[in-house]
């Protein structure tokens, strides 16, 4: 594969070898799929934050934005599901215990709908059974409140597949 072009315009030549073409096209499709989960205006990953406590939503949103991510906050799982932004998220930070749809119920609903977003759970509950249930269902992280900023940022980076140097 070689790149040609100038003045910021690039054209791509892909080998006529079918194996090479298939590999390159698969890579391009993967990159395009990754780009879908970024803020269109900024290209930054979008983190969805779901917590019924407004002070937690505000604090976590500020922290996430301070690290260069875009953030959208929701007071409940129902609000998240009603939004038209679900496909824009790179990962979710979700409180376990909320009125209405709990964090675990939200996780199950998303999974049933075929949505495989990484979910980091945050909770004030110290319940090993709930943690085990969340992780068994595919959660990428589980943090107990109060948590350290660096713990949450490391969990976000891990969920997004970034190195800790992001």
User: Which residues of the chain are modeled with pLDDT < 70?
Assistant: 1-43, 162-166
How far is 3 from 58, CA to CA, in rounded Å?
44
Full-model pTM = 0.74
Residue 123 included in any domain: yes
pLDDT for residue 22: 53
Residue 13 included in any domain: no
Contact by Cβ (8 Å): 143, 125: no
The CATH number covering residue 122 comes to 3.40.50.2300
Total of domains in the chain: 1
Range of the domain at 130: 46-160
Residue 38 included in any domain: no
pLDDT for residue 66: 96
Classify 8 in phi/psi space as left (phi over 0), alpha (psi -120 to 50) or beta.
left
Task: Tell me whether strands 46-50 and 70-74 are parallel, antiparallel or unpaired.
Answer: parallel
The predicted-structure confidence for 12-40, as pLDDT tens digits, reads as follows: 344 455 554 455 544 444 444 444 355 55
pLDDT for residue 162: 65
Residue 111 included in any domain: yes
Residue 34 included in any domain: no
Task: Tell me whether strands 46-50 and 91-95 are parallel, antiparallel or unpaired.
Answer: parallel
pLDDT for residue 110: 95
The predicted-structure confidence for 33-51, as pLDDT tens digits, reads as follows: 444 355 555 568 999 999 9
């Amino acid at each position: 594969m070689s790149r040609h072009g100038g003045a910021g315009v690039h054209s791509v030549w892909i080998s006529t070898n079918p194996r090479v073409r298939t590999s390159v096209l698969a890579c391009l499709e993967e990159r395009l799929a990754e780009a879908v989960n970024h803020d269109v205006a900024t290209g930054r990953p979008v983190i969805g934050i779901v917590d019924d406590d407004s002070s937690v939503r505000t604090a976590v949103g500020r922290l996430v934005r301070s690290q260069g991510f875009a953030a959208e906050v929701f007071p409940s799982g129902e609000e998240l599901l009603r939004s038209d932004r679900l496909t824009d998220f790179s990962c979710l930070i979700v409180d376990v215990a909320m009125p209405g749809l709990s964090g675990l119920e939200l996780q199950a609903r998303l999974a049933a709908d075929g949505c495989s977003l990484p979910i980091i759970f945050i909770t004030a509950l110290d319940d090993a059974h709930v943690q085990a249930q969340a992780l068994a269902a595919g959660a990428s992280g589980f943090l107990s409140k109060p948590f350290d900023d660096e713990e949450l940022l490391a969990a976000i980076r891990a969920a997004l597949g970034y190195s800790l140097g992001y």
